[in-house]
A and B are shown apart, each in its own frame.
Chain A
């Protein structure tokens, strides 16, 4: 069934080389992989395995040193900064370990942010932001600022924000890393729901428990794919 879904993102022999002083680091040493629509991927690996570098590439925050990256049918590896910004704005949603909300903005303003950059006016974006806040269970906290919220609540705001531009692909970087296990489970259940709704989710984690929520698991080591576990959600 999965094989029939169209390809959402595809990397073809991507390399990423960093130069730190005289030392050359091969963060990615030739990775090729297809992510199909509706899949929920967990990328696992020890630190330095290249999993974060891969996520940054998939998130169009970085460009590969060599190789190609196709997102939504377009080759983004050669795009300039403005074009990459545009791709992120239209196709991607980000969820971070430390939530990364804008501290001086309220809940609804944070959720509005992607729509603001999309050029959607307040009359349209505000009701949508409020609707998203309700969907993540924060309909009562619209005027709160992030510091007035708990970690779990902040991450829920971040999820609402990631959904504001209605992206196909959600990228999550250790989404439960700063949360206790109960709240972490809540967040994972929420991601599971989004997965069932048809979103493609790519998540970096180092916790097997968290990775168990995903439909596919990718193990990285030394900048290469170590192994892949395919299967339906646990």
Chain B
């Protein structure tokens, strides 16, 4: 019975809505824009942060990344002397042995070397690392196999090309098993792995634009730690043992403590700060926090437009009550109780605001779609944002409908009937 009664009251609400098409449309526009902007803004915010979060997550929230950084003011002027800085093999050992909560450590050496495959010869960016590296980056293996523990232990001169490197060297699947000359040493190509799919600027893992991987033991023993780079005539000689050291923590919970302990330990052996600690988890938390702030700011702006829409609805409902004073008098004379009048007008207002909310949702879904198409910005519409926006518009109908409805119910029937 209740549902049938409500259905009729909703129908009555729609009817009076349709009787004043222009007025209803104008009233609803405020709410439509309010709801649409809530949905659209949340979609844009969600899309932007989703992208940022995806990049950070790729670094692994369990990881702590140590990077070698050239200390400021240590540039050697004469171009002859060698500068020595950065993370060392000893650092890795010390961290692995003394700091609890670390599952594994993955060292990385960067080697700019000249390589030759067949008759093609060019400068390559080679990364020396341990087999565990590959479980960190989780890249697709295109052909052959990866560097394994045996290669590392036996110091096998093997190389895994990246898709990028393979393309530069014009290597195909047939390149597996072929010899490649790096700095005069012959390596065997054992595999090709895929490139990073989404190369974002947030990523700090030393993996972009890398041409090839070689075992750490080989890099260390065959190439040594001195890197020579020629730039603008001068030769820069630097001795760097490790360019990067990735630490994987046992669990997310211990990441902050481990990072603090590592920093403390490193400080004692590096009087000049020649390293940097990156904690993706901290970046993640930071990104999440700024996402929240972003959402709150956008939400407030959208909320204001919703509020304006709500006030518009109240305004029109007050006008409606005045206009329909006689109708209210008739209903009261027939025997409608005050709460039945309240109910009628409240249902009418909520019907109005629901229609506005519904249209707003549709507009709100279309806008992000256009933004993505036109500006290439990522957007993401979440179910919760739709529920939120629609819920708010219905709630606005109730909040801003109560006063006009009460005013309608308080009319004196005799006075109301006399109203022209």
Q: A-side interface residues toward B, CB under 8 Å? A: 56, 59, 61-62, 81-82, 85-90, 92, 94, 96, 100-104, 113-114, 116-119, 121-122, 161, 165
> A113 with B16: in contact, given A96-B417, A100-B326, A121-B1 (CB under 8 Å)?
no
Most chain B beta-carbon contacts within 10 A, residue among A85, A86, A165: A85
> A114 with B19: in contact, given A56-B414, A61-B413 (CB under 8 Å)?
no
Q: Which residues of A contact B326 (CB under 8 A)?
A: 100
Q: Which of B299-350 contact A (CB under 8 A)?
A: 326-327, 329-338, 340
Chain A min CB distance to B119 (Å)? 90
Cα-based distance from A82 to B4 in the complex (angstroms)? 23
Q: Which residues of A contact B19 (CB under 8 A)?
A: 104
Say what secondary structure dominates the interface of chain B.
helix
> A114 with B334: in contact, given A56-B414, A122-B4 (CB under 8 Å)?
yes
Q: Which residues of A contact B333 (CB under 8 A)?
A: 59, 61, 88, 94, 100
- By Cβ-Cβ distance, the 7 closest A-B pairs, closest first, are A89-B335, A88-B335, A85-B337, A100-B330, A61-B413, A85-B335, A114-B334
Cα-based distance from A99 to B16 in the complex (angstroms)? 21
Q: Is A102 in contact with B336, judged by CB distance below 8 angstroms?
A: no
Q: Using an 8 Å CB-CB cutoff, how does the interface string of B1-40 with A read, 1 for contact, 0 for none?
A: 1001100100010011001000000000000000000000
Chain A min CB distance to B45 (Å)? 43
Q: Which residues of A contact B4 (CB under 8 A)?
A: 121-122
Chain A min CB distance to B255 (Å)? 65
Q: Is B334 in contact with A104, judged by CB distance below 8 angstroms?
A: no
Q: Is A104 in contact with B335, judged by CB distance below 8 angstroms?
A: no
Q: Which residues of A contact B340 (CB under 8 A)?
A: 117
> A100 with B417: in contact, given A85-B332, A122-B4 (CB under 8 Å)?
yes
Total contacting residues, chain B, CB less than 8 A: 24
Closest to A164 in B: B334
User: Can you name 29 A-B residue pairings with CB atoms under 8 Å?
Assistant: A61-B333, A61-B414, A62-B414, A81-B337, A85-B332, A85-B336, A85-B337, A85-B338, A86-B337, A87-B335, A88-B334, A89-B334, A90-B335, A92-B335, A100-B326, A100-B329, A100-B330, A101-B330, A102-B327, A102-B331, A103-B327, A104-B15, A104-B16, A113-B334, A116-B8, A117-B340, A118-B335, A121-B4, A161-B334
Cα-based distance from A136 to B1 in the complex (angstroms)? 29
Pick from B327, B330, B334, B338: contact of A82, CB below 8 A.
Answer: B338
Q: Is A82 in contact with B335, judged by CB distance below 8 angstroms?
A: no
Q: Is A117 in contact with B335, judged by CB distance below 8 angstroms?
A: yes
Q: Which residues of A contact B12 (CB under 8 A)?
A: 104
Q: Which residues of A contact B334 (CB under 8 A)?
A: 88-89, 94, 113-114, 117, 161
Cα-based distance from A90 to B337 in the complex (angstroms)? 13
Q: Which residues of A contact B5 (CB under 8 A)?
A: 116
Cα-based distance from A46 to B375 in the complex (angstroms)? 78
Cα-based distance from A121 to B7 in the complex (angstroms)? 12
Pick from A62, A102, A121: contact of B330, CB below 8 A.
Answer: A102
Q: Is B338 in contact with A113, judged by CB distance below 8 angstroms?
A: no
Closest to B330 in A: A100
Cα-based distance from A103 to B15 in the complex (angstroms)? 12
Chain B min CB distance to A129 (Å)? 14
Cα-based distance from A103 to B12 in the complex (angstroms)? 12
Cα-based distance from A62 to B332 in the complex (angstroms)? 12
Cα-based distance from A56 to B384 in the complex (angstroms)? 54
Cα-based distance from A81 to B410 in the complex (angstroms)? 10
Closest to A85 in B: B337
Q: Which residues of B contact A104 (CB under 8 A)?
A: 12, 15-16, 19
Closest to A101 in B: B330
Chain A min CB distance to B156 (Å)? 87
Q: Which residues of A contact B337 (CB under 8 A)?
A: 81-82, 85-86
Cα-based distance from A101 to B12 in the complex (angstroms)? 15
Cα-based distance from A116 to B4 in the complex (angstroms)? 11
Cα-based distance from A226 to B351 in the complex (angstroms)? 54
Q: Which residues of A contact B413 (CB under 8 A)?
A: 61
Chain A min CB distance to B159 (Å)? 83
Cα-based distance from A189 to B333 in the complex (angstroms)? 25
Cα-based distance from A87 to B336 in the complex (angstroms)? 11
Chain B min CB distance to A85 (Å)? 5
Q: Which residues of A contact B336 (CB under 8 A)?
A: 85, 89, 117
**Additional A-B contact list (7), CB under 8 Å, known A100-B330, A116-B8:** A61-B414, A82-B337, A85-B336, A85-B338, A113-B334, A117-B335, A117-B336
Cα-based distance from A124 to B234 in the complex (angstroms)? 102
Cα-based distance from A61 to B337 in the complex (angstroms)? 12
